[in-house]
Structure 1
Amino acid sequence: MHADRRPRSVTRADVARYAGVSTAVVSYVLNDGPKAVAPLTRERVLDAVRVLGYRPNAAARALSMGSADMFGLLVHDNRSPFFAELCHALDQASADNGRSLLIVNSDREQVSTSEQIRDLVSRQIGGLIIADVLTAREQSLVEALGIPTVVIGQFGETDGLHSVGVDFAVGARGATAHLIGHGYRDIAFAGSAARYDERERGWRDALSAAGLPLGPLVHVPFTHQGGYEAGMQLMRGPRRPRAVMAASDQIAIGMLAAFGQHSVRVPHDIAVASFDGTVSADFVWPRLTTAVQPLEEMAHAAVSILLKAGDQRRHHEFSTELRVRESCGCTVV
């Protein structure tokens, strides 16, 4: 009889010994509680997890048995038209590669993003796709869990993780330049209320390159209601802009509702361009001129990265394409 020569799995006790702490402290770090852990101790534990290659039992078992045929997707809110289309593209790309997709919304109340990440990993997923902005602490947790991970649709490269996305600044700059090409000189921007948006930088760059002053700047949530509020703010401002660059189709559609309610004609009174290229952009009137994100290509790239994930982290960047419709003032046959 031959001895079983398979390598022994790294245990929580191994991590504790390496870090010089108790197994309880390791548990507190990986579960983000219930007791707080000093920052330096936490870093020692996470470093031990990375060095030893420790994985929570369920994920390690799935990977070692070759049964991890499901990916997990953490998405901010799949009710959003953009994220709904992204989820569909990722589901199709996963299916094309013989994988299923488990989708979890990160905007749930009373459940932290860290808890959701741990829950997904415990369900024997073979890889994790993140369509949300992670805090530094959440990213440290993902790296410590050691599961193949890719971030999709965020602003540029994500240090320490694979990432897929578009150049938001270049796309928004092109859409704003298109508005400038119509002769509009007072162009507003409506975008993220949460953080500085690369699309805002693209808007600024386009106006600066054309020697134009910045138009009104409105920060609102990425929702239809946020767009409606942006439209109301722009109409109540000291001067009404001649055009608006919206950071998403959802915001632009909300603005169309506000403008229409107050008899402001698009594009005759205010022209609009937007970002994302969702299906809904072609089913409002006027139809939206929008910078299209190539979701199918991005989804296939993300899945490919998970299937071939290596130690060298990379960012796969795509270009947007401006889809011209009537909201900017163009006549489309």
Structure 2
Amino acid sequence: MRITRRVSQADIAKRAGVTQAAVSLILRDKATSIPEETRRRVLDVAHELGYRADPLARRLATGRSQLLGVFTYERVFTARHGGWYHPFLLGIEEEAERAGQDLLLFTSAATSGPIRSIYADGENKLRLVDAAVLLGRDEIPAELEQLVAEGYPFVFIGRRFLRGGREVPNVAPGYAAASQELADRLLDRGHRRISYLGSNPDLPATGDRLHGLREAIPGIAPEIVPLDAVKPSFVDTLLDRGVTAVVVEGMAYAEALRLAVEQRGLKVPDDLSIAVAGVAEDEDAGGFWAGFDIPGRRIGQVAVQRLLERLDGGEATTDTVECAERQGKSVVEARSR
């Protein structure tokens, strides 16, 4: 097999009859004092010879790798198409491509054992890239502390905090505002006994949802139970208390509660309204669930924008992306029992 040598700037300079320094200026679009005729001749020769810029040389010249990382604390790819993280990854990819950046995915599965770690081998492996987006619910707080101490530029998808309550750079859904608006809509439809169903009140996302709901419904009762505890007997408990609507923290809880209602011989929303706070962009293709959407794609785009701003000398920021209202069939007017 014949291997063809890469065309160099020296080759272009020789063919065009100019210096290599002039070729370098022209190809980097910095030839402000070079005549237009010369600039055009060099570009034509470069095209004729099939010149392609050496990415390593370009990166050495700029001091950047032109690589952004995506580190995941949990699996983001599922057997089925799409999934919870797919919209976030899609937005990250789109914005990186728009900015001329390549992406490198870190999983650490081979070195970390069951827990994925940025520092699995004692070194910050994210140093391979200029900056990184971090994903996952099972983050290691000490690692975030270390990244901040090192001054390493990163953005977390979702709100995260250091010891002492300091918030790390992040882009998150506007859960609090969307939850308050959702509660107002339920109240407008006559619901007065409303419960919240979720898994962990200590998670920032759950706390934001509850904060928003309590702005509209100060006495809302949170039901913090594991997913496998959502059974017909749980539905009986809700109905015995006169609950007419339940706000659930995601699609897994929504589907589990609907199944439990049906096993009880009842129906959603006729006997119990369910609102989802919130629905990922790849979920609920049938449009059944009411609540609000999670703008994962937009969040991924904003995360990359903030990383590039940091690399250009900008300050670390925290950003909230608005969640859109979801009009579905799972909520109806409250009915007295």
TM-score per shorter chain, which class?
0.5 to 0.7
1:142-193 alpha-carbon deviations (Å, 9 max, x no partner): 1234332112222699836422123321111111221221111111101232
Cα separation, partners in 2 of 1:250 and 1:261, compared to 1, 3 Å: same
CA RMSD, Structure 1 to Structure 2 (Å): 3.3
Match of 1:148 in 2: 153
Q: Give the Cα–Cα distance (whole angstroms) in 1 for the partners of residues 193 and 273 of structure 2.
A: 11
Match of 1:23 in 2: none
Pair 1:179 & 2:179 matched: no
1:259 is matched by which residue type in structure 2? V
Pick from 70, 77, 80: which aligns with 1:72?
A: 70
What's the TM-score once normalised by structure 2's chain length?
0.65
1:91 is matched by which residue type in structure 2? E
Any gaps of 5 or more consecutive residues in structure 1? 1-60
CA displacement at 1:287 relative to structure 2: 0.6
Larger relative contact order (C-alpha < 8 A, sep ≥ 6)? 2
Q: Counterparts in 2 of 1:140-219, with a 5 A limit?
A: 140-154=145-159, 159=166, 161-193=168-200, 195=202, 197-208=207-218, 213-215=219-221, 217-219=222-224
1:183 is matched by which residue type in structure 2? G
User: Identical aligned pairs, as a percentage?
Assistant: 18
Runs ≥4 residues deviating over 6 A: 61-64, 155-158
1:249-275 alpha-carbon deviations (Å, 9 max, x no partner): 332123223223333211111101112
Pair 1:317 & 2:320 matched: yes
Pick from 114, 117, 121: which aligns with 1:113?
A: 117
Q: Counterparts in 2 of 1:34-45, with a 5 A limit?
A: none
Cα separation, partners in 2 of 1:161 and 1:277, compared to 1, 3 Å: same
Q: Give the Cα–Cα distance (whole angstroms) in 2 for the partners of residues 151 and 247 of structure 1.
A: 20
1:178 is matched by which residue type in structure 2? R
Match of 1:293 in 2: 294
Cα separation, partners in 2 of 1:168 and 1:116, compared to 1, 3 Å: farther
Is this contact kept in 1: 2:198–2:249, CA < 8 A?
yes
Q: Give the Cα–Cα distance (whole angstroms) in 2 for the partners of residues 91 and 229 of structure 1.
A: 38
CA displacement at 1:89 relative to structure 2: 2.3
Q: Tell me, what secondary structure is at the counterpart of 1:113?
A: coil
1:266 is matched by which residue type in structure 2? V
1:86-127 alpha-carbon deviations (Å, 9 max, x no partner): 2232223222323333344589753353435956415x1221
Number of residue pairs matched by the alignment? 258
1:274 is matched by which residue type in structure 2? V
1:232-265 alpha-carbon deviations (Å, 9 max, x no partner): 4631425362110011233212322322333321
1:47-87 alpha-carbon deviations (Å, 9 max, x no partner): xxxxxxxxxxxxxx989753242322324442583323222
Select between 244-253 and 263-272 the one with higher mean Cα deviation. 244-253
Q: Tell me, what secondary structure is at the counterpart of 1:115?
A: coil
Q: Tell me, what secondary structure is at the counterpart of 2:217?
A: helix
1:265-310 alpha-carbon deviations (Å, 9 max, x no partner): 11111101112332454335x7111212222222221101111203
Q: Give the Cα–Cα distance (whole angstroms) in 2 for the partners of residues 320 and 269 of structure 1.
A: 27
Select between 167-176 and 74-83 the one with higher mean Cα deviation. 74-83
Cα separation, partners in 2 of 1:327 and 1:141, compared to 1, 3 Å: same
Q: Counterparts in 2 of 1:1-333, with a 5 A limit?
A: 65-78=63-76, 81-104=83-106, 110-115=114-119, 118=123, 120-122=125-127, 124-132=128-136, 134-154=139-159, 159=166, 161-193=168-200, 195=202, 197-208=207-218, 213-215=219-221, 217-220=222-225, 226=227, 229-230=229-230, 232=232, 234-237=234-237, 238-239=240-241, 241-279=243-281, 281-283=283-285, 287-309=288-310, 310=313, 312-329=315-332
Q: Give the Cα–Cα distance (whole angstroms) in 2 for the partners of residues 114 and 178 of structure 1.
A: 42
What's the TM-score once normalised by structure 1's chain length?
0.66
Q: Give the Cα–Cα distance (whole angstroms) in 1 for the partners of residues 119 and 61 of structure 2.
A: 21
Q: Give the Cα–Cα distance (whole angstroms) in 1 for the partners of residues 285 and 302 of structure 2.
A: 28
Q: Give the Cα–Cα distance (whole angstroms) in 2 for the partners of residues 160 and 176 of structure 1.
A: 27
Q: Give the Cα–Cα distance (whole angstroms) in 2 for the partners of residues 67 and 257 of structure 1.
A: 50
